[in-house]
Amino acid sequence: MAAEISGENVERRSTTGMTTKVIKGSLWTFAGQVAPLAVSLVATPFTIRLLGAEAYGALILVGLIPTYLGFADFGMGMASTKFGSEAYAEGDEEKEARVVRTAALISLMTSVPVAAALMIFAPRVIGLFNVPEALQGEAATALRIAAVTLVVNFLCGIFNTPQLARLRMDLNTFINAGSRILGLIATPIILYLGFGIVGAVTVLLVASLINLAGHLIVSSEFVPKLLASNVKSILIRQLIGFGGGLAFASAAAMIVANAEKSVLPAYVDVKALAYYSVAFTLATMATLFSQAMIQSLTPAFSQLQRPEKRHELENLFFRVLRYNLLLVLPTFFILLLIAKPFFFLWAGPEFSENSVVPFFILLSGLLFNIPAYLPYALIIAQGRSDIFVKLYALESVPYLVLAVIFTQRWGINGAAAAWSLRIIIDALLLFRIAGSVNGWSFPLRKLCIRLLPGLILIIGLLAAFLFYNIWWVVLTVAVLSLTAYSVLAVALAFEKEEIAFVRQVIIDRFASQKRLV
pLDDT digit string, tens, across residues 227-286: 876 777 777 888 888 777 777 776 777 667 777 887 888 788 778 888 888 888 888 877
Share of the chain above pLDDT 70, in %: 89
147-173: average pLDDT? 90
The pLDDT, as a whole number, for residue 113 is 94
Report which DSSP code applies to 227: T
Q: Which of 38-52, 360-374, 436-450 has the lowest mean pLDDT?
A: 436-450
Distance CA 104, CA 50 (A): 38
Residue 382 to residues 165, 374, 428, Cα–Cα distance (Å):
15, 13, 19
CB 212 within 8 A of CB 248: no
- Please name the amino acid found at residue 310: R
Count CB atoms within 10 A of the CB of residue 276.
29
CB 193 within 8 A of CB 199: yes
Angle at 171 between CA 170 and CA 177, to 5 degrees: 85
The pLDDT, as a whole number, for residue 500 is 66
269: CB partners within 8 A, 6+ apart? 57, 130
Model confidence pLDDT, tens digit, residues 347-371: 778 888 888 899 999 998 988 888 8
The pLDDT, as a whole number, for residue 22 is 77
CB 111 within 8 A of CB 151: yes
The pLDDT, as a whole number, for residue 229 is 67
Phi, psi of 194 (to 5 degrees): 95, 20
Kindly indicate the confidence band of residue 511, based on its pLDDT and cuts at 50, 70 and 90. low
The pLDDT, as a whole number, for residue 108 is 92
Kindly indicate the confidence band of residue 214, based on its pLDDT and cuts at 50, 70 and 90. very high
Model confidence pLDDT, tens digit, residues 464-484: 878 777 878 888 888 898 898
Residue 149 scores a pLDDT above 60: yes
Distance CA 296, CA 377 (A): 9
The pLDDT, as a whole number, for residue 116 is 94
Residue 59 scores a pLDDT above 50: yes
CB 378 within 8 A of CB 303: no
Report which DSSP code applies to 65: G
**Could you tell me where the DSSP H helices lie in 65-167?**
76-90, 93-120, 122-127, 133-159, 161-165
Beta-carbon-side half-sphere exposure of residue 127 (alpha carbons within 13 Å): 5
**Could you tell me where the DSSP H helices lie in 268-309?**
270-283, 288-303
Q: Which of 106-110, 284-288, 378-382, 504-508 has the lowest mean pLDDT?
A: 504-508
Count CB atoms within 10 A of the CB of residue 397.
12
Report which DSSP code applies to 229: S
The whole-model pTM stands at: 0.68
